[in-house]
C-alpha cells in the first residue's frame, strides 16, 4: 500500500604521426591527442577516471569523495550534466545546492585532479527521463535525439549555456582549469537505426555544434563508432578489454568512458554485483591492447534523491562501487584497483612512447609487449581461459596465469601484479541502531483524501496518458468515474490494464486491490472482485509512476498509465475506457506541501492508529543522534512511498517489493 512518510528532524603496431590539436586563444594547458593517448601540455597521459555525479551526493560530501578517489589512484573525475535538474522549467535555471556544478568542478580542481564533463544533454544514467526536462514533450513538432529542428534548438541552447558557464569560470584546461574532455550525446548508436535518415545527420550536427563551441579540449561520443572527426568515439560496458574494436581512426586514442563496477539495482531485476578481479582483468586487458584512459562507472554511485530515479530504479545507486552509497571505502574493490593503477602506471613510459608487439602464448593466452628504443620494456601476459590456470613461457621464463587473469611485468621480467590475486582484506560496512522509532506515541498521521469524480475539475472522455497529464509534477494521477449499477447482485469484477507502474483501486472509498509492473515487465493487469452499491458508485484508480523511462528511441512517444478499464457483472461486460473520466494530479498532501515544516499545519494531524492505512502520511520529530555523524533510516517496516527530512526528499522507498530471496531491494 502507498504510504508517504514525513520525517522532520533536527538533523604489433606503432602509433606515430598525426596529433590533433584543439585550438584555444586562452592561456592554459593545451589538450590534444594522437593515436596513443590524450596529450596535456605536450605530455602523453595514461589516465584513470572515476564517475562521481554531483547531484547524487551532498555538497558537503564532495571533497571527501574526490579525496578518496585520488587516494585510490584516480586522475580524473567524470560526471554527467543533468539537464532536467538545471532547467526544470523552460528558461528557469537552478545551479544551487546539489546542482552547483561549478562548485563541484572547482572541488575537483582543488584536489589537483582533472575533470571529464559529459554534457549529453541526453544522458540516460538511470536518471529520470534520461536527463531530458519534461517540458520538451510539449514543444510543437519535437522528436527527441534526431534531425529535428525543435529538439536541436533546445539541445544547442542548453549545451551552449553549460559551456559558457564553464568558460566564464575558467574551468577548461585551455583556460587553466581542470576540464580536459567533454562529451556530446550518449550511446546514440544504440538507437540511431530507429531514426532512419534522420539519425546520421543528427550525429554530424551534434559533433559540429559541439566543436564549434571552442572549449579548447577534445570532444567524445560514447558507443558511436561513426563519431565524426575530430570527435573521439569511446567504449562503454563491462568488457571493453575484449569487445572494443578500437577508435574509428588510427589518430584517435582508445578511451573507455564507462567501465561498470557493478550493476545498478532496480525493482524486479535480480541483484548482481561484480568482483574486483573481473574489473581489474578487463582494465589490464584494455590497457594492454592500447587503452590509455579508463573511467569507472560508478566509482561512487550515491543516492537518487527526491524523484530523480528512472523507471523502477532504487534510490540507492551503485552501492557496490569502490565508494559505497554513503562514501565509505569498499574493500577489496577500491584497494585492488589502486594496486592495479600503481602497477600500470609503473609501465607508463613503454606504454605511452614505445612500440607495441603481440605474442601468442597459447590457444587463449597472449602477450602484449611495449618496448622503447632505450631498452625499456613492459609486458602484459593474458589468460582469457576462464576455466583453468595455465603456465606460459615468456622470455625463457615460466609464468603461471590463473583463469581470466593478466600479469603485469613493468620490466618484462618480474610480475608486480596479477588481476586475479587479491592482496587486500575485505571490509564490512557496520550499521548500528542508534534510535528506534517503534513507539506509536512518537508518530502522527494524516490520511490523504481519495477523490471522487465529483471532486475533480479535469475531465475527459478517454483514458489520458499518465506522463503527459502529470507533466512529471507528481508520481500520482487519479483516474475517477461514477458508475451506475442497476442490479440486485452486488458482485462484479473490475479489470484494469495498465502500462505502468503501480495501481491502487478504490471502490466507494475502500481499497479493493493493488498491482504493479517491474523493471523487466512494465505492463500489468489487475482483476479484482468488487462489491457495488445498487445505484451510483465512485471508482477511483490511483496510477503511480516509479520514475520515468530513460532510454530508447522516440522517448517522447512512450506511454504510462491506464490503457483499458472494464467492469464485468452477471448481466454484461462494460468497457469504460471511453467513459466520462475525472482526473486529479498528485495527492492532497503534496499539493499542500505538508512535508515542509511551515506547511505541516495545513492539515489536521492525528495520533498514530495503524500501520495498514493506505495513502497515509506519517511524521515524527527527533534529535540528531550524534553531531556530524552519518546516519540513515531503515524503512524495512514500511510499504511504499517517499521520505522527507527537514523538507528535503531523500527519495522513494519500496520495502514491500522483495527479491526472489525474500528480502527488500533496499531498506
Annotated catalytic sites, by residue? Answer: 187, 258
SS3 state at 488: coil
H or E element in which residue 340 lies: helix 333-345
- Backbone phi, psi, residue 530, to 5°: -125, 160
SS3 state at 202: helix
Tell me how far apart the alpha carbons of residues 236 and 243 are, in angstroms, rounded to a whole number. Answer: 10
Q: What is the secondary structure of 498-537 as a DSSP string? A: ESSSEEEEEETTEEEEEEE--SS---EEEEEEEE--SEEE
Quote the distance between the C-alpha of residue 600 and its chain's center. 32
| DSSP designation for 227 | P
SS (H, E, C) 249-306: CCCCCEEEEEEECCCCCECCECCCCCCHHHHHHHHHHHHHCCEEEEEEEEEECCECCC
Tell me how far apart the alpha carbons of residues 404 and 364 are, in angstroms, rounded to a whole number. Answer: 10
328 CB neighbour count, 10 Å cutoff: 16
Separation in Å, CA 574 to CA 57, 461, 485, 571: 50, 15, 11, 10
Helix 59-71 and helix 101-110: axis angle, to 10°? 30
SS3 state at 406: strand
Quote the distance between the C-alpha of residue 311 and its chain's center. 11
The contacts of residue 10 (CB under 8 Å, 6+ apart) are 621, 622, 623, 624
Amino acid at each position: 500500500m502507498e504510504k508517504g512518510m514525513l520525517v522532520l528532524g533536527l538533523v604489433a603496431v606503432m602509433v606515430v604521426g598525426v596529433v590533433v590539436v584543439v585550438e584555444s586563444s586562452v592561456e592554459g594547458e593545451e589538450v590534444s591527442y594522437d593515436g596513443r593517448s590524450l596529450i596535456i601540455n605536450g605530455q602523453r597521459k595514461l589516465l584513470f577516471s572515476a564517475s562521481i555525479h554531483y547531484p547524487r551526493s551532498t555538497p558537503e560530501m564532495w571533497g571527501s569523495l574526490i579525496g578518496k578517489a585520488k587516494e585510490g589512484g584516480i586522475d580524473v573525475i567524470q560526471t554527467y550534466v543533468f539537464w532536467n535538474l538545471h532547467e526544470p522549467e523552460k528558461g528557469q535555471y537552478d545551479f544551487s545546492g546539489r546542482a552547483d556544478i561549478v562548485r563541484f568542478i572547482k572541488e575537483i580542481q582543488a584536489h589537483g585532479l582533472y575533470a571529464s564533463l559529459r554534457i549529453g544533454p541526453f544522458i540516460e544514467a538511470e536518471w529520470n527521463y534520461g536527463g531530458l526536462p519534461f517540458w520538451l514533450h510539449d514543444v510543437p513538432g519535437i522528436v527527441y535525439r534526431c534531425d529535428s529542428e525543435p529538439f536541436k534548438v533546445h539541445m544547442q541552447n542548453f549545451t551552449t549555456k553549460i559551456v559558457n558557464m564553464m568558460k566564464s569560470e575558467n574551468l577548461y584546461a585551455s583556460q587553466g582549469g581542470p576540464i580536459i574532455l567533454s562529451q556530446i550525446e550518449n550511446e546514440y548508436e544504440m538507437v540511431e537505426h530507429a531514426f532512419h535518415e534522420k539519425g546520421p545527420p543528427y550525429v554530424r550536427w551534434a559533433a559540429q555544434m559541439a566543436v564549434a563551441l571552442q572549449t579548447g579540449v577534445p570532444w567524445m561520443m560514447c558507443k558511436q563508432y561513426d563519431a565524426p572527426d575530430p570527435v573521439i568515439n569511446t567504449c562503454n560496458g563491462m568488457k571493453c578489454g575484449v569487445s572494443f574494436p578500437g577508435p574509428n581512426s588510427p589518430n584517435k586514442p582508445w578511451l573507455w568512458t564507462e567501465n561498470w563496477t557493478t550493476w545498478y539495482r532496480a525493482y524486479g531485476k535480480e541483484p548482481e554485483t561484480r568482483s574486483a578481479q573481473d574489473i581489474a582483468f578487463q582494465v589490464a586487458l584494455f590497457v594492454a591492447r592500447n587503452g590509455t584512459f579508463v573511467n569507472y562507472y560508478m566509482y561512487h554511485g550515491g543516492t537518487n534523491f527526491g524523484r530523480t530515479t528512472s523507471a523502477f530504479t532504487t534510490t540507492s545507486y551503485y552501492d557496490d562501487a569502490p565508494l559505497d552509497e554513503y562514501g565509505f571505502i569498499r574493500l577489496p574493490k577500491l584497494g585492488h584497483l589502486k594496486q592495479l593503477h600503481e602497477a600500470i602506471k609503473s609501465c607508463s613510459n613503454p606504454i605511452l612512447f614505445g612500440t607495441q608487439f603481440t605474442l601468442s602464448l597459447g590457444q587463449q593466452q597472449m602477450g602484449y609487449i611495449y618496448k622503447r628504443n632505450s631498452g625499456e620494456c613492459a609486458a602484459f601476459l593474458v589468460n582469457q581461459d576462464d576455466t583453468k590456470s595455465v603456465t606460459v613461457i615468456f622470455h625463457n621464463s615460466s609464468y603461471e596465469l590463473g583463469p581470466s587473469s593478466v600479469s603485469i611485468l613493468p620490466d618484462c621480467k618480474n610480475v608486480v601484479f596479477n588481476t586475479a590475486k587479491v592482496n587486500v582484506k575485505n571490509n564490512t560496512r557496520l550499521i548500528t541502531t542508534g534510535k528506534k522509532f517503534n513507539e506509536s506515541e512518537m508518530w502522527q498521521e494524516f490520511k490523504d483524501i481519495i477523490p471522487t469524480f465529483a471532486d475533480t475539475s479535469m475531465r475527459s472522455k478517454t483514458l489520458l496518458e499518465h506522463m503527459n497529464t502529470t507533466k512529471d509534477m507528481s508520481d500520482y494521477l487519479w483516474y475517477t468515474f461514477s458508475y451506475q449499477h442497476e442490479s440486485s447482485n452486488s458482485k462484479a469484477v473490475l479489470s484494469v490494464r495498465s502500462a505502468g507502474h503501480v495501481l491502487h483501486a478504490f471502490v466507494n472509498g475502500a481499497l479493493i486491490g493493488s498491482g504493479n509492473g517491474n523493471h523487466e515487465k512494465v505492463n500489468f493487469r489487475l482483476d479484482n472482485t468488487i462489491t457495488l452499491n445498487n445505484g451510483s458508485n465512485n471508482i477511483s484508480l490511483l496510477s503511480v509512476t516509479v520514475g520515468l523511462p530513460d532510454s530508447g528511441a522516440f522517448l517522447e512517444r512512450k506511454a504510462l498509465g491506464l490503457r483499458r478499464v472494464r467492469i464485468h457483472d452477471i448481466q454484461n461486460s462494460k468497457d469504460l475506457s471511453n467513459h466520462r473520466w475525472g482526473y486529479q494530479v498528485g495527492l492532497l498532501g503534496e499539493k499542500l506541501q505538508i512535508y515542509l515544516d511551515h506547511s505541516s499545519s495545513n492539515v489536521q494531524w492525528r495520533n498514530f492508529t495503524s500501520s495498514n492505512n493506505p495513502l497515509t502520511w506519517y511524521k515524527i520529530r527527533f534529535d540528531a543522534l550524534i553531531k556530524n555523524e552519518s546516519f540513515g533510516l531503515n524503512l524495512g517496516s514500511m510499504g511504499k512511498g517517499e521520505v522527507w527530512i527537514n523538507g528535503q526528499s531523500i527519495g522513494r522507498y519500496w520495502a514491500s517489493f522483495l527479491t526472489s530471496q525474500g528480502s527488500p531491494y533496499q531498506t
